[in-house]
Structure 1
Amino acid sequence: MDNDKKITRVLFCGPDFPASHNFTIEYLQNYPFIQVDVVPFADVPDVIAIYHMCVFKNMRVDARLISRANQMKLLMQFGVGVEGVDIDAATKNGIKVARIPGDITGNAFSCAEMAIYLMLGLLRKQNEMQISVKQKKLGEPVGETLFGKTVFIMGLGNIGINLAKRLRPFGVKIIATKRSWSSHSQAFESTAVPIQNGEIDDLVDEKGGHEDIFEFASRADIVVCCLSLNKETAGIVNKSFISSMRKGALLVNIARGGLLDYGAIAHNLKSGHLGGLGIDVAWTEPFDPDDPILKFLNVIITPHVAGVTEHSYRSMSKVVGDVAVQLHTGTPFTGIEFVN
């Protein structure tokens, strides 16, 4: 695909999520006709013209950057979300945009496990426990159980389904909303935790639509955001939504930072209305370690690692590697989902 028809160049944007490019390079070590480069964010505009495939991760790919990608055939996310790409601009320039469905790589159940980790960390007062250890105190703080709680899964897609499946043994009540329940069969059949048609009624105690989010929030002890980020969902957890939550309820977000309104979160943590916040994604990333939100003991933040597990990242690296080889050889793509 290069001028000499011998090399296909793959660009990884930025140093973040290093396992993504390290595992991909390792997977492709026996394919000398694939060249993988990791380029700092600031240098991407200057070099993108020589690449045929781009893995953008958390970099915004706008129309101006796309206009420089003269040889680009495929823009690809190392994961699910493609909200950072100007899809219309890519389409106009003849560039395909793709994502890796979370249900085939283990990303969805890795994220589901992280959601449970954050719930338990908040319920058992993880930060206060560390203080007790340092102060050599035993038997405090007094935590809470997940058993008996009502969990509202907002957005029952692949991650939400895997979360619901794993929450069942904890003895919780699960309520969930989804934009459209008529299309759930395919998603359930493809999930890494198989669910047969009709089994959803055993998995979720109560189903609702987008119009029910405030009412469901009012009955939940824990709200978990599993929504994709788009124009309709940006800032959806705002002042009105949090006000509808029970006083002292917990909020967990393992999807996208832009779903939460920062001002509303900060205000309700300070007032005590919000009982705790567990987030793996933030409004700006990397997150500012001096942000005032982190002064609250009932806040747990992890560095966008919900899907960063050995299993999921090696699986996704294989998909990226296979796609690079398929691009080079001109064979049909497998393991990815096109969005344009």
Structure 2
Amino acid sequence: MAMEAVRLLFCGVNEFPDSINFTRFFLRNHPHVQVDELSLEDVVDNIYKYDICVVRKMKFDESAISRATKMKLIAQFGVGLEGVDIPSATKVGIKVARIPSDDCGNALSCAEHAIYLMLALLRDQKGMDKSIASRQLGQPTGQTIYGKTVLIIGFGNIGKELVARLRAFGVHILAIKRSWKNKLAHVPAEGHDASLVDEAAGNEALYEFASRSDIIVTCCPLTPESAGMINDKFLAAMKKGAKLVNVARGGLLDYASVKAALESGQLGGLGMDVAWYEPFDPADPLLEHPKVVLTPHVAGVTELSYKNMDYC
């Protein structure tokens, strides 16, 4: 008797296209697994046909889950699961999974991309584009990462990979992690995560660390507590002209606060791989600012991470 096909659905068309391309490649010798892709508008009406789905950017709420009558697994091609109603899935016996970022190359890729965004801001990418367009040489004058103080907010897998790569640039590294309840010693005990950085603390030191940092990188999860944490109060506490890089989630930043801080010069540059809504509107006035660099949610999109995520 022929084996019944396992049907795997990728939610969304033209979103992270190589996620499905790599999956199909690695399943090429498994003809009993059928891999499909549907637009977000068509997912809910067809979800009952599928055993597994990869949500990508879809909001998989209770309504969608109630129609997933064959579903055994809801998975994310990566680390974020904030769009999945996990309690509703658990209630009906559907497992929910993500791919840890530390062993698959995702965190490493995001760390490299954070450095790319730092360099783009410090070397004034938009200014260089303008110089090329006007055939001017020798400007703008950029800044180095060397000698800067870098604050990492959220010291998980990305933060650790980022520290390992920043060390070669000769920087002073501060880190904030919520579970570090009290400010730790300047040189914590060897073997503690905090020993990887120069200064480490819990959330109580957030504004003090921000006031001393030339570059701030957000790589913490988006939760009800962290949503909008980069707000008027935080931006006012920052060193004037400091740069901000976000490789986590757009919702960590308050749009109006960031826009106002850029216009006043309090925020000296914004590099972001994620935005408040995606895909981000290319006509949004924020993107016209000369100190803003946006990339299309590609920090973790590398051949290394995609190959390893499929193996996982």
Q: TM-score, normalising length from structure 2? A: 0.95
**Which residue type is aligned with residue 101 of structure 1?**
P
Instruction: Please state if 1:63 is matched with 2:62.
Output: yes
**Which digits, 9 at most, give the CA deviation of each residue in 1:22-52, with x for residues without a partner?**
1001110110111110111100011100111
Instruction: Please state if 1:296 is matched with 2:289.
Output: yes
Choose from 292, 306, 309 the match for 1:316: 309
**TM-aligned CA distance change 1:201 to 1:235, over 3 Å:** closer
Q: Which runs of 5+ in 2 are unaligned?
A: 182-188
**Which digits, 9 at most, give the CA deviation of each residue in 1:224-271, with x for residues without a partner?**
001011111111111111111011000000001111110101111111
Contact 1:56 1:75 in 2 (8 A): yes
Deviation for aligned residue 1:144: 0.6
Residue of structure 2 equivalent to 1:13: 11
Give the match's secondary structure for 1:104: helix
State the distance in 1 between where 2:193 and 2:179 align.
Answer: 14
Aligned counterparts, 1:194-213, within 5 A: 198=191, 200=193, 203-213=196-206
**TM-aligned CA distance change 1:274 to 1:68, over 3 Å:** same
Residue of structure 1 equivalent to 2:230: 237
State the distance in 1 between where 2:190 and 2:25 align.
Answer: 39
Residue of structure 1 equivalent to 2:94: 95
Instruction: Please state if 1:220 is matched with 2:218.
Output: no
Q: Which runs of 5+ in 1 are unaligned?
A: 183-195, 320-340
**Which residue type is aligned with residue 66 of structure 1?**
I
Residue of structure 2 equivalent to 1:129: 128
State the distance in 2 between where 1:231 and 1:83 align.
Answer: 10
**TM-aligned CA distance change 1:199 to 1:178, over 3 Å:** closer
Give the match's secondary structure for 1:59: coil
Residue of structure 1 equivalent to 2:259: 266
With CA pairs under 8 Å and 6+ residues apart, which has the higher RCO, 1 or 2? 1
**Which digits, 9 at most, give the CA deviation of each residue in 1:180-228, with x for residues without a partner?**
249xxxxxxxxxxxxx952745530000001211111111001100101
Choose from 242, 245, 252 the match for 1:252: 245
**Which digits, 9 at most, give the CA deviation of each residue in 1:60-111, with x for residues without a partner?**
1000000000010110010001000111111111111111000111000000
Alpha-carbon RMSD: 1.4
Contact 1:79 1:102 in 2 (8 A): yes
State the distance in 1 between where 2:267 and 2:105 align.
Answer: 31
State the distance in 2 between where 1:97 and 1:244 align.
Answer: 39
State the distance in 1 between where 2:276 and 2:234 align.
Answer: 17
Deviation for aligned residue 1:7: 1.1
Q: TM-score, normalising length from structure 1? A: 0.87
